[in-house]
Amino acid sequence: MSFTKSGVNGFVPSNAYAWYATTSRCNDFNVRLWSGYGTQEINWCWRTAEASWDCQERWTKVGQSWTAVATNVKDGTHSKIQFRDNKARVKGSLAF
């Protein structure tokens, strides 16, 4: 699945009410950036049972190679990614 981060805020998807739902195809949440977008630091976030959300306490450097930003993720977990550089305009791919 491809994504475009517009630079509006630090999240993909950028809409506060939009989330990706993980599937049984993969236990990890993987990200890669397309050629020309360098390296970005990314954090993985998820919806909690209380309909709030939380993020990891670490940032993962992601470039053109597939990188797991979260591992052993339960099927159906509502997720999004956060970029440390919230103004960056970035395109890439997700697999989960």
| Mean pLDDT, range 23-39, rounded to an integer | 92
Please, which pLDDT band fits residue 94 given cuts at 50, 70 and 90? very high
The yes-or-no verdict on residue 8 having pLDDT over 90 is: no
CA distance 30 to 47: 17
Supply the range of the domain harboring residue 14: 2-95
Count of domains for the chain: 1
What digits encode the pLDDT tens for the residues 46-90? Answer: 998 877 889 999 999 999 999 999 999 999 999 999 999 988 899
Residue 88 belongs to domain with CATH number:
2.60.290
